[in-house]
Amino acid sequence: MLLLLLLRNGATQERDHSMLLVAAPGLPALDGRISVFDPDTAGFLPNVFEGLVRFKPETCAVEPCLATEWRLSPDGRTLTFQLRRNVHFHDGQKLTAALVTASFEQTLRDGSPYLFGMVESVTSPDPHSVVFHLKKPYTPFLRTLALPQAAVFLPGRPPSGTGPFRIKSADDREVVLSAFQDHWDGPPGVETVSIKSVPDPGRRAALMHKHHRVIALDVPCSATGSPSGGTTAVTTAASLNYLGFYTGKSPFDNPAARRAVALALDRHSLCNQLYCGLIAGPEGLLPPVVLDGLNSQPQTFDPAAARDLASAAGLNGKTLTLLTYKGTRPYNPAGGERLADEVKRQLQAAGMEVRVRCYEWESLKKAITRREGDFFIYGWVSDNGDPDNFLYCLLSGSPSTRGFNTTGYENPVVNLMLSRAQQVPDSAVRDGIYRHALEILDREAPLVTLNYGAHIAAVSPGLQGFAMNPTGTYDLTRIILKN
């Protein structure tokens, strides 16, 4: 029998043989609702708190959870869910429409207007139906309901959920989960999970050598070759690492200048250089988990064409200032300085002179707001994995997205298409709208996707079935313990 030994308070304790240790960068506060989801600390939450719907494994598509079915009204403003029967909370109470409605009313009071501002009201016309009344048609809302922020809960410290695990104990160093034997889909195969806060990524990776049955989250690319015989779990994230241009400022107010830079970048080589081959180069503007098969043709690497376009756009003889950040980001584990140096090297190979200016993260955001330099390295982490959450936020001219649209890009035709796509139900029609918008965006190149983000975890030998969801959560019920 394999025993998992955990170090706590300087002492070695022997735990149950079925315990699993998850080493995370941090832990969330569990004395209330989480209005802003941080996958670095709260990826385990769907195992405790379930929503009406959830994401299918390793995708951004939605499937039933506490609701077995739903229907959308013809005007797109009313979404009615039928609840699953015989579901219980961890404290023993039975799931009812009234409790679901009360939970969402609390979420609407305390939650993010950005996520839930389109909701006018929530009602329960009978014990098994929950109805969302929207201010206007908004198709991405269904994916928003799959987020941890939209989970159903009963108030408490910690709150009570309906998930396959319940919270046994929690503090700022460790959350211990135990299997919920009365879960509607049956109890999970793992009896106990310890989620420990280990801020240092090197220490998280080192736990692989000290303990059995460990999942180390968000480990450095360089730490994935584990002598312990473990495996590396890599999931493409619903996030982007991109090079942004000030589209309202010379020289990159000229689309030809932006395309010159795009053609000069060999992004597949860049990813191999910086990410140990774990993160592939992009094949389009959006990650395939967001809009699989609908990206238009990716911008190719063509240094000769880049030189010609750069000359025609007046970039020759100019020294371009590239802004970047210190340290790493979720979509860039190599760090902003290393990435900027590689971008500089590739652009200079195509005849463009570049100098790099590096900032602390908060200072970089202010510098971009002031339109310092000529272009910048930045990124985006999607909330719900819907294409709207990328394209409308990053590239719409809407006043509501002004803080997200760092490039200042605005195209009235694209604006119209993105607004329309918010209201069209998921269908071939909606896909066609996004396909057309992406064709325009590829030509005008307000930003260049350098790579998609990735969730990288080290997994002990003997553990099977672990994978991250693109939005940063993970399902502990799919894990199989092997001797």
Identify the pLDDT of residue 297.
Answer: 52
- Judge residue 150's burial from the number of C-beta atoms within 10 Å of its C-beta, 0-12 exposed, 13-18 middle, 19 or more buried: buried
Cβ atoms of residues 51 and 163 within 8 Å: no
pLDDT, position 294? 55
Q: For residue range 12-23, what is the model confidence (pLDDT) as tens digits?
A: 333 344 789 999
Coil, helix or strand at residue 175: strand
DSSP state of 300: P
Q: Determine the average pLDDT of the residues in 141-149.
A: 95
Quick one: pLDDT band at residue 227, thresholds 50, 70, 90? very low
Nearest of 28, 29, 65 to residue 50 by alpha carbon: 65
Can you give 109-151 as a three-state secondary structure string?
HHCCHHHHCCEEEEEEEECCEEEEEECCCCCCHHHHCCCHHHC
| Four-point Cα dihedral 44, 50, 54, 56, nearest 10 | 50
Cα gap 283→272, rounded to integer Å: 15
**Model confidence band, residue 10 (pLDDT cutoffs 50, 70, 90):** very low
389 in Cβ contact with 354 (< 8 Å): no
Give the pLDDT confidence of 316-359 residue by residue, as tens digits.
Answer: 889 999 999 999 999 999 999 999 999 999 999 999 999 999 99
Q: For residues 222 and 277, what is the distance between their CA atoms, to the nearest angstrom? A: 10
CA dihedral of 258, 262, 265, 266, whole degrees rounded to 10: 180
Measured CA to CA, the distance from residue 230 to residue 214 in angstroms comes to 9
In the predicted structure, residue 109 carries a pLDDT above the cut 50 = yes
Q: State the Cα–Cα distance between residues 162 and 286, nearest whole angstrom.
A: 34
Arithmetic mean of pLDDT, 121-126:
96
Flag whether pLDDT at 482 surpasses 90.
no
Which range among 147-156, 288-297, 343-352, 394-403 shows the weakest confidence by mean pLDDT? 288-297
Q: Is it the case that residue 296 has pLDDT exceeding 60?
A: no
Instruction: Determine the length of the chain.
Output: 483
Domain boundaries, the chain: 1-48+163-230+460-483, 57-157, 238-453
Quick one: pLDDT at residue 3?
Answer: 27
The radius of gyration of the chain from alpha carbons, rounded to an integer in Å, stands at 24
Cβ neighbours, 10 Å, residue 341: 17
Which pair of tokens denotes residue 416? Answer: 């119209």
Query: Which residue(s) pair with 158 in the sheet?
Result: none
Q: Report whether pLDDT(197) > 60.
A: yes
Fold agreement between 1-48+163-230+460-483 and 57-157: no
| pLDDT higher than threshold 50 for residue 8 | no
Give the pLDDT score at 422.
95
φ, ψ of residue 245 to 5 degrees: the values are -115, 145
Report the sign of the C-alpha dihedral through residues 184, 185, 190, 195, in that order: negative
- Write the pLDDT tens digit of every residue in 154-173: 988 788 999 999 999 999 89
Q: Is the peptide bond before 28 cis (omega within 30 degrees of 0)?
A: no
> Rounded mean pLDDT of 292-313?
80
Average pLDDT over residues 397-422: 91
The share of the chain scoring above pLDDT 90, in percent, equals 73
Preceding amide of 461 cis, omega within 30:
no
Edge-to-edge strand ranges of the sheet holding 67-72: 67-72, 78-83, 129-134, 119-126
**What's the confidence (pLDDT) of residue 343?**
98
Q: What pLDDT sits at residue 153?
A: 92
pLDDT at 209 over 80: no
Q: Name 201's Cβ contacts closer than 8 Å, sequence gap at least 6.
A: 25, 218, 219, 220, 223
Q: Is the pLDDT of residue 67 over 70?
A: yes
CATH superfamily, domain 1-48+163-230+460-483, is Periplasmic binding protein-like II (3.40.190.10)
Residues 290/387, Cβ–Cβ less than 8 Å: yes
pLDDT for 11 beyond 50: no
pLDDT digits (tens, 9 = 90+) for 71-84: 999 999 999 999 99
Task: Retrieve residue 278's tokens.
Answer: 């774990």
Compute the mean pLDDT over every residue in the chain, rounded to the nearest whole number: 89
| Separation in Å, CA 18 to CA 22, 196, 204, 478, 482 | 13, 16, 20, 14, 10
The CATH number of domain 57-157, selected from 3.90.76.10, 3.40.50.300, 3.40.190.10, 2.60.40.650: 3.90.76.10
231 confidence band (pLDDT: 50, 70, 90): confident
- Ranked by mean pLDDT, the top range of 218-222, 226-230, 240-244, 423-427 is 240-244
CATH 3.10.105.10 is the classification of domain 238-453: yes
